[in-house]
Structure 1
Amino acid sequence: MGTHEEQDVAGQRFDVADAAPLLIDADGVVRSWTRDAQRLLAYTAAEVVGTGVGGLLATEDAERMPELAERCRRDGGWAGLLTVRRKGGRTVRVMVRITPAVEPGGAARWLVLLSDVAAGARGWDMSRTVLEQMVTGSPVGIAIVDVNLRCVWSNAALEQFGGGSARDRLGRRLAEIQPGIDSEAIEAQMRRVLETGRPVVGYEHVGQVRSAPHRATAHMMSFTRLEDDGGHPMGVYYTVVDMTDKHRARQRLALLDRAGEHIGRTLDITRTAQELADVAVPELADYVCVDLLEWVLRGAERAPGPLGDQQRVPLRRAGQQSVNPGVPEAVVAIGEVATYLAGSPPVRSLATGVSWREERLDPLAKEWATDIAGDRAATFLDLGLHSVMIVPVRARGVTLGVTSFFRRGRQEPFDEDDLSLAEDLVSRAAVCVDNARRYTRERDAALVLQRSLLPHRLPEQDAVEVAACYRPADELTGLGGDWYDLIQLSGARVALVVGEVPGHGIDAAAAMGRLRTAVRTLAALDLPPEEVLAHLDDLVASTAREEGDEPGAAGLQAVGAGCVYVVYDPVDGQCTMAAAGHPAPAVVLPDGSVTFVDLPQGSPLGAGGPPFEAVELALAEGSVLALHTDGLLAREERDWAVDPDRDRLRLALARRAASLDLTCRAVVDALVPVRPHDDVALLMAHTRLLGADQVADWDLPGDPAIVATARKEAARQLAEWGLDDLVFTTELVVSELVTNAIRHAEGPIRLRLIRERALICEVSDGGATAPHLRHPRTTDEGGRGLLLVSQFSQRWGTRFVPEGKVIWAEQSLTQPSPDM
């Protein structure tokens, strides 16, 4: 007998009144016999007393006597089932309990109580009938197979799972009873139970059975080994419970969870639509297509007016997926127009906002939608599609498009539960699509703002070759507070500007736009770099005081901004720069070595502090100036003179690429992650020098008679340059400017002509008074000089230098001269 039987018997109630007692000694010899024992086994006392108790047992249990004796001595007794032999040879199964019966001062004795198991279960014949009624009428499918896994019995409830009646199952294996079922996996469980004796409880089988050939079913199965009286396996008893509804409910929850994880991971409309199709196939449908209205993909708002179901509605395919590679069911590619016919189910769902389901499609229908028919005139039968759901994509009360779910082949038709699940999926995706649409609209607006604030393209000129790269920290809007600029100045010079406003987003961008406009306005005054920054600092401080603590105020946002302002002159290669709380530019010399300008650091704009200082240096032709914001080196501290990350920038600048633009991008890629923590702007300028044949100058005495000589020299120089068409106007400009200098200025006078993209005429003197344009009356005899200069020049002006001032005028070399 096994240990589990002993435990079961030990736990049962043992009725001593019904037991047959006998007494044995420590050696297992019967010392006392009772009438109850005689009645049970038919032996008389004379036949048993003095013999070993093992002689009363069946051979198998007699061999266990030494083991049982040891357990009695160890545990103080024993209880279990044994098989005894009655007189005449018939065996009886008895319940046995052995307890010690030690007499005081006497030898050890053991009291053995025997109880007939059959007698203790009187009425079993009647209970067997009850048991048969229970298993036969049970709603749980029950079957018994033999050791060869052939059916020997089954109840009526098992017929609901297919395979025929109990009579049809007899003697057949599972693969014969249920063709198509995964019989190998189920029979593997049966064999394991037969081999080990350990039952298998809660085995879940998912598949299709004959009773539901188009429907995936789920069943919970349990397997138990059946044994004979000797403990040998006789077969397997198993039960089957239909849990398809619970299984499908779990699948739905799992699908919704997966949808929450995979749909809407980005703010891209088409990617969100594709994620919806990917999640729904193959768990819910075999083919899914998502079609959105045109204005949704543009990020626009819905046009006013109702959408009637009698209209031909053009939508655009945003996502589709199929269980078949290549999505052969669709004739419309992603991004193409899918025009559904008037009155078709997709159009009705689009117009009403109500879902539509059809369990069985008309297999020969061709006019349902152009998407399905297409040029191939394919029918639903040709495509293998037999069931459909149309669910409108609605968010915040607005319909954005439709999603179509199809099933094909032998899969079951869509039911109400499937439609409910599809609506949940589409509802979640719709919110993500609408968020992406709104983001697209806002981002487009932000990009328009950013493009309006940053230069569309840097102006063409001969002073420097430039390249710029901008990478915002706010990847969603693309807005930031960094900016760069190139401004054309008089005398063929250029101003290079890089600056940054603290913070990110639209507030920083607005403040940046104001600062950039102010810098360009100050640059037009031809002020030195330190004076430009001083005026800019005053402007930021005064604006911040005026706006106070108003949230989002652009003036307050600009406080603490940094800026570096550089002026480069291609005539002599001189470069002058000043900085306000900004890193100094790097210089890549023609030999490839990299240095950093020792530039005094002024205070950030609006913060107050000592006056700004400028430095001047001469740059060899072919040098590269690199102006950048602090985001390039991802440093928060502002001690730029000792920044250890300069070594990283030095190495990046030392690597040359095929062009300056590629070099600029390579530097940013090498130093800045794809998603930087701070905005980054880098402006690189490759310096040039004007040739000696592009500049001509003359020192003139302060004598009115020299005006004629100045005109002749200018005309001769223009003839050498091949600019004969400009001789007359240039003579007029030279005459007026030189005459004005002789009359109103002091010190030496110098005339200079520069041929660049324009013809520049400059007259410098030692005076500190700027001339003013006058509008004389017809009766006035003078005062028309500068008026004529302004009429014959595309622009003119005055700039002050340490030695005095320069009056200049430019004439275009690409546009015709103004008529007289």
Structure 2
Amino acid sequence: MAVPDENPDPLAEALLHTLASQSSMGLFLFDDGLDLVRYHADQLLTALGEEAGKADRTLFRELLDDDARHLMRKVRDDLEARHGYVTWRPEGHGERELSFAALPLRDPDGRPGGVAAAVVDITGEIDAFSRYDTLQRGDTIGSSLDVARIAQELADTAALRLADTVTVDVLDSVLQGRLPHPGHVRENLLVRRISAGVPEGVRFPAAFPLGGRHGFPHAGPFARALDERRSQLVREAGDEDRWLALAVERGLAPRDTHSLIVVPLIGRGALMGLATFYRRAGSDPFSKKDLSTAAGLVRRVGAVADNARLYTVERAAAQLLRHSLVPGALKSTATVQSAEGYVADGGHAWCEVIALPGARTALVVGDVAAGGVRGAARMGQLRASLLALAEADLEPGELLSRLAALTSRLFAQDEGASGPGDTAFPLATCLYLVYDPLDRSCVVASAGHPAPLYGEAGGELGSAAIEIGPPLGVEYHAYETTRLSLPEHGELALYTDGLTSVRPGDGHNGAGALAQALASARGSLEERCDQVLDALAPQCPTGDAVLLLAHTRPLPRSNVATWELDSDPKGVSIARKACRRQLAEWGLTDLSFTTELMVSEMVTNAVRYGRPPIRLRLIRDRSLICETHDTGSCAPHVRHAASGDEGGRGLFMLSQMAARWGVRFDPQGTTGKTVWAELEIPE
């Protein structure tokens, strides 16, 4: 189509005719006043006219928005070519993206003569690029191993170019780590909405909240996608579609939805959920190419999401092992107040606070150099073994030696089941410390673990000078016990290497940096733990960072009573009377009868089978503790006397009356033994 010209150039006419009949480019000529004088754009206007109506000059005038006219004026005035884009929005139809280039025209004398414009419809190219870009962005999804985060990345990526709104719903069973059985999906299968998104990161303002659980209507594309495991395309949807109206009513879909794609989220061949792509009224309906793009994107994300699900299952199993293999740690005792800080980094570190006989408290920190379920299982074995040995009331060095022997046996058992280059039993470290509030001392031994810090509470702490033996799992080893004296109000800091592996150039060794951080921290024990972890843990992601911080205080002298007894039967009567008077002074007369019986049996055994001197001690702690000490090395044991026997029932009675009882030998077995028993103090 052309505006008549008095002097047409045949060659120019041939070129314009060819462009008009065979090219999708539209050529338009404007005079110096920017009035349209000629155009050749049959194919362009015909293509646009299919959507907007009749292809004529009026149609083209509608294409020129204010930005395009401003650009042509600048071309005319500056005599420089310019390029831009025009977004055409015909009423009732989707947007068209047009490339717009304007060039200045000159007459033979070089004077400005108007403007030439070339317009190309690039909507298809933009759509193709959007699909390609969406798939490329899909390849970057999955930097985390969290199903909800992966789903949110999918929603945000697809909403950027492909859809107006995207939602992802995952089967409730999948979030619990279980895949559904293959086959028909029952009605109202429960799913949980875990993500939603619209362009520019705005969340879908649905009435149904993220994290809520619901069942999709058993009709329409949702049910078909769940049942057939195939993507569903709905080009045109409206209020007459009952399934859409129900979804809108329940806040599961946008109210102005007119086209949608539903894609099942598949992982390892099993259904995990649904991803739904919506376009609102005013946007182009989805095409089959869009369906292919959406299906490809979800398919790529499905494998990543399933890996995250498997990781979630393994991590949950490891945490379950971590917390359930052994009872939870006691956080404080009457003479030790403690707080724990923990930052996980793929390992399995732990700490314990254990109440021991004689009002003493054991503080333990350990670390297993392995992750996953296997590392958690090994940690559980070590913790359970350590607690059992602590019940035997062994001194720290002997306890770690027995723990090392047990570890060596476990190593030998697993050695045949390990693959090439696999360490059957991962190396572990452990530090065991016992605080005695009666003399403000502590004894400590270490198996490959850093020495504790100790000192005055509120002051600067120093590193204890102890011998550090090899880690557990290497071979059997005898560990040395070191005795330390604490101030009246002391502070202890036990920690793992993951907290003190500072970077080179920091100016401090690991223990020095920790001591400085503790000196700077303020507030309660818990608050100080948090401050130290914030200061040190981010600098050293080399293992689990654990800090066990404890304040110690002595037991008041008024809570301890001690008597030296003669090594003859008269000492039993003296012990009973002394206990009766002491319990009355403490206001525990209700325990007198039981305590006197227990003390009688314990002193009688010391007189008959022990060696002098004999000492009786009562300790009022959270429970009432009775102790007899002698220099004999023979440990008493419970006998089950026959009906005709005259003796042998004393320790049996003791075991029935006491909450717990036992024997502990003095260090190195040189000064005798202590038989102890505990009675619960009524509230």
Same fold (TM over 0.5): yes
1:525 matched to which residue of 2? 392
Q: Give the CA deviation at 1:749.
A: 0.7
2:231 matched to which residue of 1? 355
Q: Give the CA deviation at 1:266.
A: 2.2
2:65 matched to which residue of 1? 183
Q: Give the CA deviation at 1:767.
A: 0.7
Other structure's SS at 1:495 match: strand
2:169 matched to which residue of 1? 291
Other structure's SS at 1:673 match: helix
Structure 1 residues 433, 548: closer, same or farther in 2, change over 3 A? closer
Structure 1 residues 228, 458: closer, same or farther in 2, change over 3 A? same
1:301 matched to which residue of 2? 179
State whether structure 2 residue 647 is matched by structure 1 residue 778.
no
The answer to whether the 8 Å contact 2:165/2:204 transfers is no
CA distance in 2 between counterparts of 1:165 and 1:712 reads 118
Q: Give the CA deviation at 1:318.
A: 1.6
Out of 679, 683, 702, the residue aligned to residue 544 of structure 2 is 679
TM-score by length of 1: 0.74
The answer to whether the 8 Å contact 1:494/1:569 transfers is yes
The answer to whether the 8 Å contact 1:501/1:558 transfers is no
2:442 matched to which residue of 1? 575
The answer to whether the 8 Å contact 2:331/2:337 transfers is no
Structure 1 residues 259, 481: closer, same or farther in 2, change over 3 A? closer
1:421 matched to which residue of 2? 293
2:5 matched to which residue of 1? none
CA distance in 1 between counterparts of 2:200 and 2:442 reads 67
CA distance in 2 between counterparts of 1:579 and 1:520 reads 16
Other structure's SS at 1:214 match: coil
**Which residue identity does 1:280 align to in structure 2?**
A
Aligned sequence identity (%): 38
Other structure's SS at 2:124 match: helix
The answer to whether the 8 Å contact 2:386/2:403 transfers is yes
**Map 1:89-104 → 2, pairs under 5 A:** none
2:524 matched to which residue of 1? 659
State whether structure 2 residue 619 is matched by structure 1 residue 754.
yes
What is the root-mean-square deviation of aligned Cα atoms in Å?
A: 3.3
Equivalenced residues, count: 666
**Which residue identity does 2:36 align to in structure 1?**
C
Out of 250, 265, 273, the residue aligned to residue 393 of structure 1 is 265
Other structure's SS at 2:291 match: helix
Q: Give the CA deviation at 1:189.
A: 5.1
Q: Give the CA deviation at 1:752.
A: 0.7
Q: Which runs of 5+ in 2 are unaligned?
A: 1-7
Whose RCO is larger (CA < 8 A, sep 6+)?
A: 2
Q: Give the CA deviation at 1:691.
A: 1.6
State whether structure 2 residue 24 is matched by structure 1 residue 145.
no
Q: Give the CA deviation at 1:215.
A: 2.7
CA distance in 1 between counterparts of 2:682 and 2:528 reads 32
CA distance in 2 between counterparts of 1:589 and 1:426 reads 60
The answer to whether the 8 Å contact 2:345/2:541 transfers is yes
- Spell out, residue by residue over 1:136-194, the C-alpha distance to the aligned partner (whole angstroms, 9 max, x if none): 5444433322222221112344532459989x53xxxxxx6545535344445545554
State whether structure 2 residue 79 is matched by structure 1 residue 207.
no
State whether structure 2 residue 665 is matched by structure 1 residue 800.
yes
Q: Give the CA deviation at 1:468.
A: 1.6
CA distance in 2 between counterparts of 1:256 and 1:776 reads 82
Structure 1 residues 180, 425: closer, same or farther in 2, change over 3 A? farther
Q: Give the CA deviation at 1:391.
A: 2.1
Other structure's SS at 2:63 match: coil
The answer to whether the 8 Å contact 1:143/1:158 transfers is no
Q: Give the CA deviation at 1:386.
A: 2.0
Structure 1 residues 636, 556: closer, same or farther in 2, change over 3 A? farther
Q: Give the CA deviation at 1:699.
A: 0.3
State whether structure 2 residue 342 is matched by structure 1 residue 470.
yes
Other structure's SS at 1:271 match: helix
Structure 1 residues 722, 303: closer, same or farther in 2, change over 3 A? farther
**Which residue identity does 2:439 align to in structure 1?**
D
Q: Give the CA deviation at 1:446.
A: 1.6
Out of 110, 116, 123, the residue aligned to residue 244 of structure 1 is 123
Out of 449, 452, 465, the residue aligned to residue 585 of structure 1 is 452
**Map 1:245-324 → 2, pairs under 5 A:** 245-261=124-140, 263-281=141-159, 283-303=161-181, 306-308=184-186, 311-322=187-198
The answer to whether the 8 Å contact 2:497/2:545 transfers is yes
CA distance in 2 between counterparts of 1:608 and 1:389 reads 62
Structure 1 residues 795, 216: closer, same or farther in 2, change over 3 A? same
Q: Give the CA deviation at 1:472.
A: 2.2
- Spell out, residue by residue over 1:361-409, the C-alpha distance to the aligned partner (whole angstroms, 9 max, x if none): 233555535430139xx998xx332222222222322222222222223
Q: Give the CA deviation at 1:750.
A: 0.6
Structure 1 residues 674, 634: closer, same or farther in 2, change over 3 A? closer
CA distance in 1 between counterparts of 2:29 and 2:54 reads 14
**Which residue identity does 1:405 align to in structure 2?**
F
The answer to whether the 8 Å contact 2:454/2:493 transfers is yes
**Map 1:357-376 → 2, pairs under 5 A:** 357-365=233-241, 368=244, 370-374=246-250
Q: Give the CA deviation at 1:804.
A: 0.9
Structure 1 residues 398, 369: closer, same or farther in 2, change over 3 A? farther
**Which residue identity does 1:403 align to in structure 2?**
A
1:29 matched to which residue of 2? none
State whether structure 2 residue 278 is matched by structure 1 residue 406.
yes
CA distance in 2 between counterparts of 1:673 and 1:648 reads 13
- Spell out, residue by residue over 1:277-305, the C-alpha distance to the aligned partner (whole angstroms, 9 max, x if none): 22222522222222222112223221566
Structure 1 residues 256, 762: closer, same or farther in 2, change over 3 A? same
2:356 matched to which residue of 1? 489
CA distance in 1 between counterparts of 2:72 and 2:61 reads 18
**Which residue identity does 2:222 align to in structure 1?**
P
- Spell out, residue by residue over 1:742-795, the C-alpha distance to the aligned partner (whole angstroms, 9 max, x if none): 112222111111111221111111111111211111111111111111111121
State whether structure 2 residue 591 is matched by structure 1 residue 711.
no
- Spell out, residue by residue over 1:320-340, the C-alpha distance to the aligned partner (whole angstroms, 9 max, x if none): 224699767622111123433
Q: Max radius of gyration: which structure?
A: 1
Structure 1 residues 738, 164: closer, same or farther in 2, change over 3 A? closer
1:431 matched to which residue of 2? 303
Structure 1 residues 536, 135: closer, same or farther in 2, change over 3 A? closer
Q: Which deviates more from structure 2 when the two are superposed, residues 461-470 or residues 320-329?
A: 320-329
Q: Give the CA deviation at 1:450.
A: 1.7
Q: Give the CA deviation at 1:698.
A: 0.6
Structure 1 residues 338, 206: closer, same or farther in 2, change over 3 A? farther
The answer to whether the 8 Å contact 1:142/1:157 transfers is no
Structure 1 residues 352, 518: closer, same or farther in 2, change over 3 A? same
Q: Which deviates more from structure 2 when the two are superposed, residues 359-368 or residues 462-471?
A: 359-368
CA distance in 1 between counterparts of 2:477 and 2:508 reads 22
The answer to whether the 8 Å contact 2:179/2:272 transfers is no
Q: Give the CA deviation at 1:583.
A: 1.5
The answer to whether the 8 Å contact 1:602/1:609 transfers is no
Other structure's SS at 2:150 match: helix
1:159 matched to which residue of 2? 45
**Which residue identity does 2:538 align to in structure 1?**
P
**Which residue identity does 1:144 align to in structure 2?**
L
**Which residue identity does 1:744 align to in structure 2?**
Y
Q: Which deviates more from structure 2 when the two are superposed, residues 729-738 or residues 666-675?
A: 666-675
CA distance in 1 between counterparts of 2:481 and 2:16 reads 107
The answer to whether the 8 Å contact 1:281/1:322 transfers is yes
CA distance in 2 between counterparts of 1:149 and 1:738 reads 119
Q: Which deviates more from structure 2 when the two are superposed, residues 403-412 or residues 125-134?
A: 125-134
